[in-house]
Structure 1
């Protein structure tokens, strides 16, 4: 399943946008203050070692060189990204706290009565970094080799075939649920905290299949 892609962000364009990042949340007299004057914290609401984390670290290195201040990654995985989003929503709007946002943040506005933030009011979106694909994987020793076989198993055993996602409301979870709806099949959802945990669950044969995200970075 492919998410809506964002236009490629080339290095020169990124550096220009990064230099302007700090001015966005400021208003009035504070907008004239030099920025940045201290390290910037970039909250990544995913586990270390995942696609978003790797992308953020690559971009953070380039941003640090462009801005002259360290950009420190703070991994806050869990709750489909809501833990990190809540933290940033409560942070001072001074340009020193960023968040690596994604579709789960927008989905939470529909899935939860009170996710702890408003994605439209509490954040200002600056630029796109990646496009992501959801892939389906099974253990190498599985007797399932095609999508048709997997769907056939789920139809034959409704609710007994389990799968691992990156968490409730994440693209991997919603992508599989859309597939199940279209295919008129059923499966048991087992939420994990990221792609690495999904892969480990499949390798350990804790679930029948997994739906990790494969991220393609646009920051060159």
Structure 2
């Protein structure tokens, strides 16, 4: 063996046990889970359910930190700047992981700043209006929007979120002009629908269900292709005549770029174990979301497909932050 070959082999032998040992010992302390939306919303609720189960799997505490604002972008920037040691991870949504980079020049790059781990859930939304609203169906609301262009408004948790882009797709499909009003989080927007200060919002079912059941909100449509078991009397957008409006939010897990491969593999192994838990699956189902896990490549492929779908509407309507 040449001297150069001997040195290379020695370096590899020295490095491999170190990384293997790091993965074996990982995690040796609590992990930080960066959530890009305020407490109380669907993303936060889902994150805490997942975080608790992941912590049980790891045998370590998972500390949730909420960094809200700009449709999830503020939290993503914060997460991207954390040390790539496997002790910080974040949840991406449709807005923060897919559409925000299409809308404006972001201070983070999903391809360069993050390591994909897995998609953990997808879930359609329910379109709701306040109890005092005169609209009983999506068709009635569309008719009013056509009669009074720009008078009606809809809310969202920020520019580029699913609620925002679903409203943009409604404007496109129905040839109407309903004004978008962005908020810091979906919970704040929903509160204004409840107070009849906003006309409508497309919101994750768990946030709306208690208010629908109490009679404080009226559900007009569900954005899935099939009806939701928890909203059995609510027609889908397909039934309302708008198959173009089928869509769902998504929730995915990402690590900062540069996490050592053995540590990332250990993290994903724990994620798979957590996501296969029957209790977690039921809790996600109760939230109106389908629990799942994918490979990192599977997550990348999903992001690419959704980017193509929403990129068209963003470009055509000139949506910018």
Please indicate, yes or no, whether the TM-score normalized by the shorter chain is above 0.5: yes
1:31–1:154 distance in 2 versus 1, CA, 3 Å: farther
Return the alpha-carbon distance in structure 1 between the equivalents of residues 198 and 89 of structure 2.
Answer: 35
Instruction: Identify the residue that residue 291 of structure 2 maps to in structure 1.
Output: 218
Instruction: Identify the residue that residue 80 of structure 2 maps to in structure 1.
Output: 89
- The count of aligned residue pairs is 193
Whose Rg is larger?
2
Query: Normalising by the residue count of structure 1, what TM-score does the alignment of the two structures yield?
Result: 0.82
Instruction: Identify the residue that residue 151 of structure 2 maps to in structure 1.
Output: 160
Query: Over aligned residues, Cα RMSD in angstroms?
Result: 1.8
SS in 2 for 1:127: strand
SS in 2 for 1:206: coil
Runs of 4+ in 1 over 2 A off after TM superposition: 27-32
Instruction: Identify the residue that residue 193 of structure 2 maps to in structure 1.
Output: 202
Deviation at 1:134, TM superposition (A): 2.3
Query: Normalising by the residue count of structure 2, what TM-score does the alignment of the two structures yield?
Result: 0.57
Q: Return the match for 2:131 from 140, 146, 170.
A: 140
Return the alpha-carbon distance in structure 2 between the equivalents of residues 93 and 120 of structure 1.
Answer: 15
Which structure 1 residue ranges, 5 or more long, are not aligned?
Answer: 1-26
Which structure 2 residue ranges, 5 or more long, are not aligned?
Answer: 1-14, 206-287, 293-321
Instruction: Identify the residue that residue 160 of structure 2 maps to in structure 1.
Output: 169
Deviation at 1:59, TM superposition (A): 1.3
SS in 1 for 2:110: coil
Deviation at 1:61, TM superposition (A): 1.1
SS in 2 for 1:179: helix
Return the alpha-carbon distance in structure 1 between the equivalents of residues 186 and 149 of structure 2.
Answer: 25
Write 1 or 2 for the structure with the bigger share of helix: 2
Return the alpha-carbon distance in structure 1 between the equivalents of residues 89 and 83 of structure 2.
Answer: 11
Contact 1:138–1:202 (CA<8 Å) still a contact in 2? yes
Deviation at 1:179, TM superposition (A): 1.4
Return the alpha-carbon distance in structure 2 between the equivalents of residues 99 and 125 of structure 1.
Answer: 10
Return the alpha-carbon distance in structure 1 between the equivalents of residues 40 and 69 of structure 2.
Answer: 14
The answer to whether residue 125 in structure 2 is matched with residue 119 in structure 1 is no
Contact 1:137–1:211 (CA<8 Å) still a contact in 2? yes
Deviates more, 1:66-75 or 1:205-214: 205-214
SS in 2 for 1:141: coil
Return the alpha-carbon distance in structure 2 between the equivalents of residues 32 and 111 of structure 1.
Answer: 42
Return the alpha-carbon distance in structure 2 between the equivalents of residues 62 and 153 of structure 1.
Answer: 46
Deviation at 1:168, TM superposition (A): 0.5
